[in-house]
Amino acid sequence: MSFQAYLDAIEDKTGKTPRTLVEQAKQLGYDADGVKAGAIIDWLKEEYGLGRGHAMALVHVITKGPKISTKHVGTDGTHRDATDTLWLDGKATRPV
């Protein structure tokens, strides 16, 4: 599953865009220095029922922003992404 596919699945499960969840995490202080991934994972599990894999995708975006490694961009594998910048504003608004 690609990184973007994880974010799309999170939107399907929660009804919230990734950007909305990132903004909520920031309001709760989860973007602060020293916050451990486990605390964010626990919040996402309790609040939205997300599993570890999906939560870790959001942990990356919350703590590092929407840029990802170019390692899988443009490859043919199942984990490939089309670009190194994740779309956070929802599937319906993603450019074609």
Short-list 72, 80, 90, CA closest to 10: 90
pTM of the complete model:
0.89
Other Cβ atoms closer than 10 A to 61: 23
Q: What total of structural domains would you count in the chain?
A: 1
SS3 state at 27 = helix
CA dist., res. 10 & res. 2, Å (int): 13
Print the domain residue range for 24: 3-69
User: Lowest-pLDDT range, 18-22, 48-52, 66-70?
Assistant: 66-70
Tell me if 78 is assigned to some domain: no
Alpha carbon 13 to chain centroid distance? 13
What mean pLDDT value characterizes the chain? Answer: 92
Tell me if 17 is assigned to some domain: yes
Residue 72 or residue 12, greater confidence = 12
What pLDDT, on a 0 to 100 scale, did the predictor assign at position 79?
73
Tell me if 40 is assigned to some domain: yes
Give 25's pLDDT tier (boundaries 50, 70, 90): very high
